[in-house]
């Protein structure tokens, strides 16, 4: 059996992975796959790939590229979600802040530097013509860490996927005052350099079966119920989320899309000028 260590955020985007892992298909072809939820998101998974604690991970596109630019030993092997991610811009429920203009100069809770919550805060600030190079960030590790940070009045702003935080918005703990979509496809699948060398056949077989699960889920009339039951989300919320969601139907490396992300990050002075050959592996093609 080939062991594969796979990681992702415990969010609804990863339903196809959960269906694959529960199907038994991987064990039938000699792959022992173990999934780990990463509450800390892309930044934490980038470190885990580099350190050998993960073989495969689903990362936010911008965070994946920045991690590789900073010397992390992994590559992008495919896009996973072709649609943008809709980030909620949150403040504490009891905050006096009413307008996005009032956020300038406030403290941002981020899971960690290089995470989506960090990079999207900078992208948003640049779009608003703020001094994005001097934002005040407070590292909080996870969504729970952001909740704690808000309660202790250590931060005032938090970017996180809007449906993941919706229950907190509905309860009044968070207030979502705006949204910001990524200007690019939001999730990629990455594999560590070591796994690409030592477990290439297992990676190829796993990704092939994953996208088969994606296609089956997309075709299912019950997909909203499947996702809402597994992730304990409102079925109505899942149905609304699915309107805009586009999982990739098959593995692909959209070089034009990757170049767009590289350009945005470079203009934010978050990465150097990198070549796509440094970022991608074409092991699946």
Q: 234-276, pLDDT tens digit by residue?
A: 999 999 999 999 999 999 999 999 999 999 999 888 898 788 8
**pLDDT for the residue numbered 269:** 87
Closest CA to 203 of 63, 50, 6, 21: 6
User: Span 86-181: which CATH code?
Assistant: 3.40.190.10
Tokens of 260: 């767009």
Query: pTM value?
Result: 0.92
Question: For residue 116, what pLDDT band results from cuts at 50, 70 and 90?
Answer: confident
Question: For residue 27, what pLDDT band results from cuts at 50, 70 and 90?
Answer: very high
Superfamily of domain 2-84+185-279: Periplasmic binding protein-like II (3.40.190.10)
Cβ distance 113 to 136 under 8 Å? no
CA distances (Å), 80 to each of 57, 131, 271, in order? 11, 32, 22
Indicate the domain borders of the chain.
2-84+185-279, 86-181
Question: For residue 176, what pLDDT band results from cuts at 50, 70 and 90?
Answer: very high
Q: What is the largest distance, in Å, between two alpha-carbon atoms of the chain? A: 57
Pairing of strands 74-81, 187-192: antiparallel
What rounded mean pLDDT belongs to the chain?
95
- Identical fold for domains 2-84+185-279 and 86-181, yes or no, is yes
């Amino acid at each position: 059996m080939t062991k594969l260590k796979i990681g992702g955020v415990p969010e609804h985007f990863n339903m196809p992975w959960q269906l694959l892992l529960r199907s038994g298909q991987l064990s039938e072809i000699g792959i022992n796959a173990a999934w780990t939820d990463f509450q800390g998101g892309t930044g934490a998974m980038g470190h885990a790939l580099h350190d050998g604690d993960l073989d495969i991970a689903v990362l936010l596109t911008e965070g994946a590229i920045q991690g590789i630019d900073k010397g992390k030993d992994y590559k992008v092997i495919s896009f996973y979600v072709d649609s943008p991610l809709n980030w909620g811009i949150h403040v504490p429920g009891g905050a006096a802040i009413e307008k996005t203009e009032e956020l300038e100069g406030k403290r941002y809770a981020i899971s960690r530097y290089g995470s989506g919550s960090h990079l999207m805060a900078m992208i948003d600030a640049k779009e608003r013509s703020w001094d994005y190079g001097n934002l005040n960030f407070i590292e909080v590790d996870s969504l729970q860490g952001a909740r704690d940070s808000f309660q202790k009045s250590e931060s005032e702003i938090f970017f996180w996927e809007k449906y993941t935080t919706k229950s907190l918005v509905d309860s009044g703990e968070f207030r979502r005052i705006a949204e910001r979509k990524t200007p690019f496809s939001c999730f990629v699948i990455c594999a560590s350099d070591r796994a690409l060398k030592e477990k290439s056949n297992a990676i190829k077989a796993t990704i092939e079966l994953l996208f088969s699960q994606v296609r089956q889920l997309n075709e299912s009339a019950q997909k909203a119920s499947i996702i809402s039951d597994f992730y304990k989300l409102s079925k109505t919320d899942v149905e609304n989320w699915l309107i805009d969601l586009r999982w990739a139907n098959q593995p692909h490396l959209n070089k034009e899309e990757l170049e767009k992300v590289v350009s945005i990050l470079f203009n934010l002075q978050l990465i150097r000028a990198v070549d796509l050959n440094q970022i991608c592996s074409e092991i699946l093609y």
